[in-house]
Amino acid sequence: MLSQKLQQKLLQKLSPQQILLMKLLQIPSMSLEQRIKQEIEENPALEEVGEFDDEFNTDNNEDFDNYEEGDADGEGSDYDDQEPLRSAEDEFDFEDYLPDDEIPDYRLQSNNSSVDDDQKESPFVSGVSFHELLGQQLGLRLLSDHEKMIGMHIIGNLDDAGYLSREIPAMVDDLAFIQNISTTPKELERILKIIQQFDPPGVGARTLRECLLIQLKRKPQSDSVDLAILVLDRYFNEFTKKHFDKILKKTRSTEDELKQAIDEILRLNPKPGDSVVETERSNQYIIPDFYIYNTDGELELILNSRNMPELRLNRSYTEMLETYAETKSSKNNQQKEALMFVKQKVDSARWFIDAIRQRQNTLYVTMRAILDYQYEYFVTGDERNLRPMILKDIAEKVGLDISTISRVANSKYVQTSFGTFLLKTFFSESLQNDSGEEISTREIKKILADCIAAEDKSSPLTDEELMKLLKDKEYNVARRTIAKYREQLNIPVARLRREL
C-alpha cells in the first residue's frame, strides 16, 4: 500500500569547489603539474600563460600576504558572491562573467613560479635489461637451437631478484604445451646449471642457500671460503638462527675461523638480479613540497612552485561572452546551448584557478605552523628535540579542520639541511617521564635505537634489559612497548642481533 508523508532531513553536502580543493590538497607537487596540464586539456576556457605573453602578465614574485582573507578556508573567493546556477531555460546575466574593474587580473590567473626559479629536468638512463643481459650470455654458448630455446624459457621465468620460482616439472609441461618443445627434467637441469654460471653470480638459483653457494663456489679457494661453503651446505638452519655455538661444535673450528667464514657470507649478494634491475627501473625521486633553509639560526620556509605552469582564463571565451552581451536580444536555442557550455567552462576554470591558489596558501600556513611548533628541531636536526604533536594541535593553530591537516601531512615532503622527510613523521604521541614532563615517542625511539647501536653485539640487550636501561634514563616504558617500538624501527630480537 502506497502512502505519502513529509520528512525533514539535515544533510551536509560538499560543494564542487570544496571537493576540488580537497583533491588538490592531497596531491604532491610532482603530481600537481600533471593535474594542471590535464585540466588545461579538458577545459578549453583554461590556458597556460606563455613565456613571452605580456597581455595578462603580473608580478611573479607576489607574496602569500596578497591573498585575501579566507582563501585557506574557501571564503572570499570570486564564486562565493555569485548567484546559484539556473537551468538552461532561465535567463542569466552574462555580465557577471565579463571582466570588470572590480576583479583584478591577478584573481583570474595563478602564478605558480618565480622568474628566479630554475627549470630543472632529471635525465634518465636506459640500459640493457636483466633478462636481455642473460640472453646475450646464452647466445655466446655453443648450444643447439633446441637448447637455446629451453634456456630462453628458463631466463623468462626468473624474477627480478634472479631466482627461479617455477618448478622444473612444471616448466617441462609449459615447454610441451605452449612451445611444442619436448624435453626432460634432466636436460632442463643441465641447461639451468649453464645459466647459473652467468653474471651476475647467483642467478638461476631456486633458494637463498643455493644462491649463496653458487657465489661462494666461484670465489678463489681459501680456508674461510671452504668453511663458509660447509656452513651453508650442512648447517644453514643453524646459521639463519645464529646458533653459533652449535656450528662451532659441529665444524670443530675456532671462533676466529667461523667469524671469517661468516664475513665471507655477509659479503655475498642475496638478490643478484637487483644489481642489474635497478639500472633499468625508472628512477623515483622525491620532489619536496617545502624547503627550509637555516641561515645563521634563522629559518626560512619556501613553498615549492617550480615547474608549475601559470594559469588564466582563455581570452577567446570571454570575448564570446562579450559578443553575446551585445547581441543578446537576438538569440536562438542553439546559441543558448553553446553559451551555456561556455558559462560552465568559465565557471570550472575560475574554480580551478581559485582552488590552486587556496591550495598553495593552505600548504604554506600549515607548514608554517609545523615549523613554529617544532622550531628547535628544525634548527638542530636532533630528533630528541621533537615535541609531541598531533593533528589537532596544528588544526587549532591555523584554524583549519583536522582532515585538511591530515591531507597535507600524508603526502607532502619537506627538505631540510639534514634530510628530506614526510610531514606525517613529525606527528607523534606523547609519554610522560618520571619528572612528569611530556616527551615525544620519537625521542624514545631515537634513544632506543642509540642504545641498541651501542650494545655489545656478542651479547645483545634483551627487551627486558632495554626497559631497565630506559628506566635508568627516567623513561618509564613497559617491556611490550619496547618490543613494539623495536619492531617499528625494523630491529630484530636480541638473538638475531648477535655477532661473533
Tens-digit pLDDT profile for residues 86-128: 443 444 455 555 555 455 555 555 555 555 555 555 555 556 7
CA-based angle 236:242:246, to the nearest 5? Answer: 75
* Lowest pLDDT segment from 11-15, 94-98, 254-258, 416-420: 94-98
Does 68 have pLDDT greater than 50? no
What's residue 205's pLDDT?
93
pLDDT at 59: 44
By the 8 A CB rule, do 217 and 232 touch?
no
Give me the percent of the chain exceeding a pLDDT of 90.
Answer: 22
* Confidence band, pLDDT 50/70/90 cuts, at residue 310: confident
Amino acid at residue number 461: L
Q: Identify whether the C-beta of residue 398 lies closer than 8 Å to the C-beta of residue 369.
A: yes
* 52 confidence band (pLDDT: 50, 70, 90): very low
The H or E element spanning position 257 is helix 255-266
Q: Are 452 and 491 in contact, with CB atoms under 8 Å apart?
A: yes
Are 374 and 416 within 8 A, CB to CB?
no
Task: Name the residue with higher pLDDT: 235 or 11.
Answer: 235
Nearest to 76 by CA among 86, 65, 68, 84: 68
pTM value?
A: 0.56
For residue 489, pLDDT beyond 90: no
Confidence of residue 285 (pLDDT cuts 50, 70, 90): confident
Closest CA to 19 of 395, 407, 331, 290: 407
* pLDDT for res 423: 87
User: What pLDDT does 326 receive?
Assistant: 67
DSSP 401-454: -HHHHHHHHHS-EEEETTEEEEGGGG-B-EEE-TTS-EEEHHHHHHHHHHHHHT
| In the predicted structure, residue 323 carries a pLDDT above the cut 80 | no
Q: Of 319, 323, 317, 325, give the one whose Cα is nearest residue 342.
A: 317
Let me know: does 25 contact 407? Beta carbons within 8 Å: yes
- Integer CA distances (angstroms), 438 to 169, 179, 475, in order: 62, 68, 11
Most confident of 54-63, 72-81, 232-241, 473-482: 232-241
Q: Which of 71-85, 111-125, 455-469 has the lowest mean pLDDT?
A: 71-85
pLDDT at 434: 61
Q: What's the whole-number mean pLDDT along residues 474-485?
A: 84
The pLDDT > 70 percentage for the chain reads: 78
**One-letter identity of residue 418:** F
How far is residue 217's CA from residue 228's CA, in Å, rounded to a whole number? Answer: 10
Among the ranges given (143-152, 223-232, 484-493), the one the predictor scored with the smallest mean pLDDT: 484-493
CA 63 to each of CA 69, 88, 105, 112: distance values in angstroms, whole numbers, following the listed order: 14, 40, 16, 11
Q: Looking at residues 456-463, what average pLDDT do you find? A: 86
For cell 593535474, the residue is 35
Top mean-pLDDT range of 27-36, 228-237, 339-348:
228-237
CA atoms of 418 and 378, how far apart (whole Å): 9
DSSP code string of 182-211: ---HHHHHHHHHHHTTSSSTTTTBSSHHHH
Decide: 415 and 292 in contact? Cβ < 8 Å: yes
Per-residue confidence band for 64, with pLDDT thresholds at 50, 70 and 90: very low
Average model confidence (pLDDT) across the chain:
79
| Cβ neighbours for 347, distance < 8 A, ≥ 6 positions apart | 79, 85
The secondary structure of residue 341, as a DSSP letter, is: H
- Are 285 and 122 contacting, i.e. CB atoms less than 8 angstroms apart? yes
- Grid coordinates given for 203: 642467478
The vertex-86 CA angle with 84 and 92, nearest 5°, equals 95
Distance of CA 204 to the CA centre of its chain: 32
Higher pLDDT pick, 376 / 21: 376
Q: How confident is the model at residue 440 (pLDDT cuts 50, 70, 90)?
A: confident
pLDDT at residue 42, rounded to an integer:
85
Contact 313, 438 (CB under 8 A): no
CA atoms within 13 A on the CB side of 261: 25
Position 295 scores a pLDDT of 85
Q: Looking at residue 158, what DSSP letter applies?
A: B
Residue 295 has φ and ψ, to the nearest 5°, of -115, 100
CA 458 from chain center: how many Å? 37
Q: How far apart are CA 371 and CA 132, in angstroms?
A: 49
Going by the DSSP 8-state scheme, the letter that residue 85 receives in this structure is P
**Helix, coil or strand: residue 289:** coil
| 295 secondary structure, DSSP code | E
> Is residue 304 pLDDT above 70, yes or no?
yes
pLDDT in tens, 198-250: 988 999 999 999 999 999 999 998 999 999 999 999 999 988 888 888 999 99
All cell numbers assigned to 140: 655466446
Question: At residue 280, does pLDDT exceed 60?
Answer: no
What confidence score (pLDDT) does residue 57 get?
A: 45
Q: Is the pLDDT of residue 69 over 80?
A: no
Please name the residue that has the C-alpha cell 555580465: 95
Residue 409 or residue 109, greater confidence: 409
- Scored b (16 or more CB within 10 A) or e, 173-193 reads eebeeeeeeebeeeebeebbe
**Cβ neighbours of residue 86 closer than 8 Å, sequence gap 6 or more:** 92
Mean pLDDT of 48-55: 57
Identify the CA nearest to 117 among candidates 346, 303, 269.
303
Residue 152 has pLDDT above 90, yes or no: yes
Span 266-295, mean pLDDT?
76
Range with the poorest average pLDDT among 191-195, 272-276, 409-413, 482-486:
272-276
